[in-house]
Structure 1
Amino acid sequence: MIFNHSGIMTFTLMGIPGLESQHVWLSIPFSSMFLAILIGNGTILFLVIMEPTLHTPMYLLLALLMVADLISTIAIVPKLLGLFWFNNGDMDARLCLTQMFFIHGASVVRSALLVAMAFDRFVAVCEPLRYNAIFSHSLVAHLGLMALAKGVILVLPMPLLLQRLTFCRTTIPHTYCDHMAVVKMACSNTRANSIYGLFVILLVIGLDLLLIGFSYTLILQAVVRLNSRDATCKALDTCSAHLFVILITYAPALFSSIAHRVIAHSTPPHAHILLANLYLLLPSTLNPIIYGIKTKEIRDKVAKRLCRWHLPVIVLQPSE
């Protein structure tokens, strides 16, 4: 079967191989995560848009991160729940490639935004007096456009390269149209697809983590030079939320990538699929919670809105 044949080609998502009988039960945590992502990310995005005091570079970058998380989630979960609830795994090839583009593109954009946020924290800690001069709204707009361009430029070749392949199988053992999962369905030469996929992983995870690590090395050097303990604690506290987000974003992705290549034959297929879903959805679920707990401005704005709507308020204080 040739992908660009005049006839309509349909892929079928299998779901989680080996756990098909548990799909209904598995839909409970996934639907709960979906609801939490919509509420959490939507709330922070709403606050940043509606509250003029949050129109600062840090919160504008955070709002862009929330948008990337929402796009990635909406591209994955509705089809996943349709598969779990109604056993509807059929997906037109064009729709499959579109889903692939948005999922992987949003992941690249998210990573690029985390680099921009690391730069923001570097300027805030190392050049606090020049922060407003360096980190203007114009710079935030340029960083956002660069992140978007990076996602489009790096991910667009993936579906384009797939269109030249001949496919012998159309049943994908996955819950979404992952690039390598679709590549494995082909019976023609996929060397270029595999090399390009690995190139994107190394460029995104490798280079972005290197830039983030370099930023935090400079931040740590600046913090060590501070004479005041209070100033040191304050400087570290400004970076804590971002560090937590980096950990939950890259750690599952790195582990999934290593497991897929190193111990693929010794782990069951469903473990790989669950982990692939986890590293995409877990950051989107936890990011608003982390920023909501660790950022006083967001906690205060949420409490203010709830009080205005006469709703009960539970104030979460970060641990000292």
Structure 2
Amino acid sequence: MENYTYNSFILQLEGLNVSKESTYPVFLFLFFSYMFIIVANVGISVLVFMDKNLHQPMYLLFWNLSVNDILGNSILLPRLLIDMLRPPSELFISYYECVVQAFTTHMFSTTAHTILMIMAFDRYVAICYPLRYATIMTNKMLIKLTVSAWGVALVLVGILLGLTLRLNRCRTLIRSPYCDNAALFKLSCESVLINNIYGLTFTVVLFTGSIGSMVITYTKITVVCLTSNSKSLNSKALKTCSTHLVVFLVMVFSGMCIIALHRFPQYSDYRKLSSILFHIVPGSLNPIIYGVQSKEIRHFLFKLCQSKKVLPSL
């Protein structure tokens, strides 16, 4: 018979099921992945602020993506690394910390979608209406789009967690390496029908909106490129859109893996791994993809390296 503890403020994490031989290799992989994510994304953020050539809507929107990657991984990975060094019997987390972790996790994934949707709109305006780009993508418009990206995510996730916080808890085991909304409402013995309906609606609306916006904008961009004889326009479209599309596909594929594995409880270990990789993979690849593709970022890094070579000789 299951033991019930009502509304306990101390919860237990199931953690990662890793063998003793694999603990330190996995720990080192996660540690160096986290360090790379922080260094790369902080570096990109600093570059955008330091170089006036990067004070363009595309890079300022990408700055939001870097900030999102930093926040999302900083709440999750340090705690996960500490838990890996603890025995399973000591994997405890307070209810309030669990709620903060769940909120940050869902904000991370939702904001990534909304930011990429806005970046798709930016690319659409730049390629389809190049002469009107400066008048459409003004500083005021950029602020509105940025606030909308974070604001929409805040409202959607706030409702998601709010529906869970109203429930009384009768269990204490979080069957996951970290806290998320599903793990939290599964602690309740009350009806979670509303949570399931809103969660499903939330997921469908978010994925439909983001994928739909990509299909619409990229269809229009493709039509403009096919009907245009301008090689420079087509080259610009291929360069900027391919970067954005790769980042979006990486994020969607990572998210789809988690959703698919939720349907197969027997693969819970793979689901845990994919949920962690959902944070690590996009956070690691985003600065690499944009850094390699961006002429302005490459030029800034080249000048920085040249200045370092000159200083010792002086």
Kept in 2, the 8 Å contact 1:34–1:73? The answer is: yes
Q: Which residue of 1 aligns with 2:229?
A: 227
SS of alignment partner, residue 309 of structure 1: helix
163-172 vs 276-285, which moves further: 163-172
Give 1:80 deviation, angstroms.
0.4
Kept in 2, the 8 Å contact 1:76–1:176? The answer is: yes
Taking a change above 3 Å as real, the CA distance of residues 82 and 179 of structure 1, as seen in their structure-2 partners, is same
Question: d(CA) in 2 for partners of 1:148 and 1:235?
Answer: 27
Letter in 1 for 2:307: R
Q: TM-score, normalised by structure 1?
A: 0.90
Q: Which residue of 1 aligns with 2:274?
A: 275
Q: Which residue of 1 aligns with 2:44?
A: 44
Q: Which has the higher helix share?
A: 2
Q: How does 1:52-91 map to 2 (within 5 A)?
A: 52-87=52-87, 89-91=91-93
Question: d(CA) in 1 for partners of 2:86 and 2:138?
Answer: 49
CA RMSD, aligned part only?
1.9
Give 1:230 deviation, angstroms.
4.8
Give 1:25 deviation, angstroms.
2.6
Give 1:49 deviation, angstroms.
1.0
Q: How many residues align?
A: 304
Give 1:20 deviation, angstroms.
5.2
Question: d(CA) in 1 for partners of 2:19 and 2:14?
Answer: 8
CA displacement 1:86-124 (0-9 Å, x = unmatched): 345311101110111111112211110100000011011
- State yes or no: 1:215 paired with 2:217: yes
5+ unaligned residues in a row in structure 1: which ranges?
A: 312-320
Question: d(CA) in 1 for partners of 2:213 and 2:230?
Answer: 28
SS of alignment partner, residue 11 of structure 1: strand
CA displacement 1:245-283 (0-9 Å, x = unmatched): 01111111123212323xx14x42110110111122210
Q: Which residue of 2 aligns with 1:134?
A: 136
CA displacement 1:196-232 (0-9 Å, x = unmatched): 2112111212211111211111111111111244542
Q: Which residue of 2 aligns with 1:298?
A: 297
SS of alignment partner, residue 70 of structure 1: helix
Question: d(CA) in 2 for partners of 1:179 and 1:288?
Answer: 28
Question: d(CA) in 1 for partners of 2:165 and 2:234?
Answer: 54
Q: Which residue of 1 aligns with 2:179?
A: 177
Taking a change above 3 Å as real, the CA distance of residues 167 and 301 of structure 1, as seen in their structure-2 partners, is same
Q: TM-score, normalised by structure 2?
A: 0.91
Give 1:308 deviation, angstroms.
2.5
Question: d(CA) in 2 for partners of 1:125 and 1:276?
Answer: 35
The structure 2 residue matched to 1:162, chosen from 161, 164, 173, is: 164
Question: d(CA) in 2 for partners of 1:257 and 1:154?
Answer: 18
Letter in 2 for 1:158: L
Kept in 2, the 8 Å contact 1:240–1:294? The answer is: no
- State yes or no: 1:239 paired with 2:238: no
Kept in 1, the 8 Å contact 2:102–2:181? The answer is: yes
**Percentage identity across aligned positions?**
31
Question: d(CA) in 2 for partners of 1:230 and 1:53?
Answer: 20
Question: d(CA) in 1 for partners of 2:137 and 2:30?
Answer: 38
Kept in 2, the 8 Å contact 1:13–1:176? The answer is: yes
87-96 vs 137-146, which moves further: 87-96
5+ unaligned residues in a row in structure 2: which ranges?
A: none
SS of alignment partner, residue 11 of structure 2: strand
Question: d(CA) in 1 for partners of 2:14 and 2:261?
Answer: 21
Kept in 1, the 8 Å contact 2:15–2:176? The answer is: yes
Question: d(CA) in 1 for partners of 2:201 and 2:103?
Answer: 16
Letter in 1 for 2:148: M
Kept in 2, the 8 Å contact 1:19–1:270? The answer is: no
Give 1:142 deviation, angstroms.
0.6
Question: d(CA) in 2 for partners of 1:227 and 1:293?
Answer: 27
Question: d(CA) in 2 for partners of 1:23 and 1:178?
Answer: 23
Taking a change above 3 Å as real, the CA distance of residues 175 and 31 of structure 1, as seen in their structure-2 partners, is same
